[in-house]
Chain A
């Protein structure tokens, strides 16, 4: 049985994110298979939300395109079911609290489990509100991934202690999107986490180049990239597969060097 933590057993992990259904679910399926083949260790599948408040313009636009194309939670469950015939690496959903709550938290999690998902990331559910989701995630054998941010400071200990799967370290202030420079002391964030629990830490937000990925991988167990990939999808649409595969290969290479 695949586990979230499996992503981190073969050295540093590269974790791509894509928004499901942009430009359509057939393309998403091809992209997931291509990314897995290109060395992705874990994939974050974004379930689109109408008002993604933690996202920058690139992923906002991807969400809008996906919803306009008629993407729904049920269709995404169908997509994963199909992917699981041959894709074995861990996969987690990244979406917003309302997508899960409105579907019925139990129903959403039961279905996620059934189709072979490993976890769930809800950027608008902080430590204080995780109770109503976390307990149920455990019941269904899913990891609710905890996030820590550059502003978390004294909160990191508490969050890390109860984290499962891996800890998502938000690299910078602000929303998702490409940044030219990351100034947060990631090494310190990671060591504060590890002091509480021996759990993998992956860094995301703002990472786009192999150089950045290599640098981040020196401090963390994995690197998460979303906007840079969705930029390629926005540019090439249904023909994005070779470009995304090449990008993922390059990033995986860089991450591997970052030890």
Chain B
């Protein structure tokens, strides 16, 4: 066993108290990942409950407006609960049930993963506790209500910067206090092995579908796939089945916040360096003594100082490119997609839309680009309105 290494990245940097828990998880996952009954249950839920497969939509007006490559949108925003998060959560919740766990805990940033976990817990009859940075409970108050409505307990986390990284730390702490009946439903391709692999496998359905749908619609592979990257679960999901197709450019769009030359940024590849945190070796935003930086992005879901280890490796090998996108560019793209296609994307996904607006015009009309719209933007409307100086609250 290589402890889940992606090049030098990955690994299992966690307290001894949790080691048998992640080993148990890995064994359970290896046992069930190819189990026909498990996969029948999972596919059944993904299709009948979450609404898969999600559409690959040809964005005609955007294509015409940008005047370059053809633009397709992978509509993960149309999934039940409004984001790609449900793909992973249904997989992990089913796995937790198979492992005999009766309780799930989860971290959440924007609230999408928390809502998805609360949803799966309600559906499968699991007790659910979600840890959310205090700052984020204010930014995403509606999602806090949603989780409670779904029967979950929501714990605001006040330590550190009160954002996603602190929610992750607190969920790990909580897990060490109660392991035997509790599974930690990690929401991104991060943390200790086997989480980056499990979450990637459950999200890989995105690229599997993109590939099939693209072959059906265009008879060929796309030239580029774009996705936003915080921890990187929707991006790895959108990239995975194209990793061996060298002709397909894979572009991860990081949250640059107010810009990569300011301290108010969350662009890990652009501004971070190798480190060890939250169970993994990867790139992290940190100071010269290894103190994790208090990162910033308008998007609570991308407001994280690290990136999943497989992305770190894809960056090292050059297989994928990672580009920074500022708050302002993301907000403009949020408004642009709303007006051009009548689709309000999550502000996270808007980072990918923003980068597409930069590169698509320069690409030939015979080229094809896919943007993963990882979530819908209803949750962001109040925050974006405030960003634009309109004083509304959700």
Interface residues of A (CB under 8 A from B): 49-51, 53-54, 56-57, 60, 64, 67, 72-74, 96-103, 123-129, 147-153, 155, 159, 170, 173-175
What are the residues of chain B within 8 A of A100 when measuring CB–CB? Answer: 290
What are the residues of chain A within 8 A of B16 when measuring CB–CB? Answer: 123, 126-127, 147-149, 151-152, 155, 159, 170
How near does chain A come to B21, taking the closest CB pair, in angstroms? Answer: 7
Q: Of residues B21, B273, B277, which shows the largest number of chain A Cβ atoms within 10 Å of its Cβ?
A: B277
- Size of the B side of the interface (Cβ < 8 Å), in residues, is 38
Whether A126 lies near B178 (C-beta < 8 A) is no
Residue from the list B159, B178, B289 in contact with A73, Cβ < 8 A: B289
Whether A151 lies near B20 (C-beta < 8 A) is yes
How near does chain B come to A224, taking the closest CB pair, in angstroms? Answer: 15
B3 at the interface (CB under 8 A from A): yes
Give Cα A149–Cα B15 distance, bound, in whole angstroms.
9
Whether A174 lies near B276 (C-beta < 8 A) is no
Which residues of B in the span 228-258 have a Cβ within 8 Å of any Cβ on A? none
What are the residues of chain B within 8 A of A159 when measuring CB–CB? Answer: 16
B363 at the interface (CB under 8 A from A): no
Whether B275 lies near A128 (C-beta < 8 A) is no
A-B residue pairs, 5 tightest by C-beta: A102-B290, A174-B177, A149-B17, A97-B276, A50-B291
Whether B20 lies near A123 (C-beta < 8 A) is no
What are the residues of chain A within 8 A of B178 when measuring CB–CB? Answer: 173
B12 at the interface (CB under 8 A from A): yes
**Given A99-B289, A101-B290, A174-B173, A53 and B17 contact (CB-CB distance below 8 Å):** no
B202 at the interface (CB under 8 A from A): no
Residue from the list A97, A151, A173 in contact with B19, Cβ < 8 A: A151
Whether B160 lies near A51 (C-beta < 8 A) is yes
B183 at the interface (CB under 8 A from A): no
What are the residues of chain A within 8 A of B166 when measuring CB–CB? Answer: 51
Whether A128 lies near B12 (C-beta < 8 A) is yes
Whether A102 lies near B19 (C-beta < 8 A) is no
Whether B12 lies near A101 (C-beta < 8 A) is no
**Given A50-B292, A98-B290, A128 and B3 contact (CB-CB distance below 8 Å):** yes
Q: Of residues B19, B176, B286, B289, which shows the largest number of chain A Cβ atoms within 10 Å of its Cβ?
A: B289
How near does chain B come to A26, taking the closest CB pair, in angstroms? Answer: 20
Whether B278 lies near A152 (C-beta < 8 A) is no
How near does chain B come to A240, taking the closest CB pair, in angstroms? Answer: 23
How near does chain B come to A183, taking the closest CB pair, in angstroms? Answer: 13
Residue from the list B15, B177, B284 in contact with A126, Cβ < 8 A: B15
Question: A48 — nearest CB in chain B belongs to which residue?
Answer: B291
What are the residues of chain A within 8 A of B289 when measuring CB–CB? Answer: 72-74, 99, 102-103
Whether A151 lies near B21 (C-beta < 8 A) is yes
Question: B173 — nearest CB in chain A belongs to which residue?
Answer: A175
Give Cα A128–Cα B174 distance, bound, in whole angstroms.
22
Whether A175 lies near B160 (C-beta < 8 A) is no
Q: Contacts A128-B3, A149-B19 given; 7 further ones with Cβ under 8 A?
A: A53-B15, A98-B284, A126-B14, A127-B16, A152-B19, A152-B20, A173-B176
How near does chain B come to A72, taking the closest CB pair, in angstroms? Answer: 5
Whether A67 lies near B291 (C-beta < 8 A) is yes
What are the residues of chain A within 8 A of B173 when measuring CB–CB? Answer: 53-54, 56, 174-175
B222 at the interface (CB under 8 A from A): no
Whether A60 lies near B159 (C-beta < 8 A) is yes
How near does chain A come to B293, taking the closest CB pair, in angstroms? Answer: 8
Residue from the list A51, A102, A128, A129 in contact with B165, Cβ < 8 A: A51
B179 at the interface (CB under 8 A from A): yes
What are the residues of chain B within 8 A of A148 when measuring CB–CB? Answer: 16
**Given A124-B15, A151-B21, A53 and B172 contact (CB-CB distance below 8 Å):** yes
Whether B15 lies near A123 (C-beta < 8 A) is yes
Whether B176 lies near A175 (C-beta < 8 A) is yes
Whether B13 lies near A103 (C-beta < 8 A) is no
Whether B17 lies near A170 (C-beta < 8 A) is yes
Whether A101 lies near B276 (C-beta < 8 A) is yes
Q: Could you name 5 residue pairs across A and B whose Cβ atoms are closer than 8 Å? A: A51-B160, A54-B15, A97-B276, A173-B177, A174-B173
Whether A103 lies near B292 (C-beta < 8 A) is no
Whether A128 lies near B19 (C-beta < 8 A) is yes
Question: B3 — nearest CB in chain A belongs to which residue?
Answer: A128
How near does chain B come to A64, taking the closest CB pair, in angstroms? Answer: 8
What are the residues of chain B within 8 A of A125 when measuring CB–CB? Answer: 13
B169 at the interface (CB under 8 A from A): yes
What are the residues of chain B within 8 A of A153 when measuring CB–CB? Answer: 20
Whether A129 lies near B13 (C-beta < 8 A) is yes
Residue from the list A101, A149, A175 in contact with B275, Cβ < 8 A: A101
Which residues of B in the span 323-380 have a Cβ within 8 Å of any Cβ on A? none
Give Cα A47–Cα B275 distance, bound, in whole angstroms.
17
Whether B275 lies near A129 (C-beta < 8 A) is no
Q: Of residues A49, A64, A148, which shows the largest number of chain B Cβ atoms within 10 Å of its Cβ?
A: A49
Residue from the list A50, A103, A127 in contact with B160, Cβ < 8 A: A50
What are the residues of chain B within 8 A of A149 when measuring CB–CB? Answer: 15-17, 19
Give Cα A149–Cα B177 distance, bound, in whole angstroms.
12
How near does chain A come to B172, taking the closest CB pair, in angstroms? Answer: 5
B156 at the interface (CB under 8 A from A): no
B114 at the interface (CB under 8 A from A): no
B82 at the interface (CB under 8 A from A): no
Give Cα A96–Cα B276 distance, bound, in whole angstroms.
9
How near does chain A come to B183, taking the closest CB pair, in angstroms? Answer: 15
Which residues of B in the span 1-20 have a Cβ within 8 Å of any Cβ on A? 3, 11-20
Q: Mark B175-210, 1 if CB is under 8 A from A, else 0.
A: 011110000000000000000000000000000000
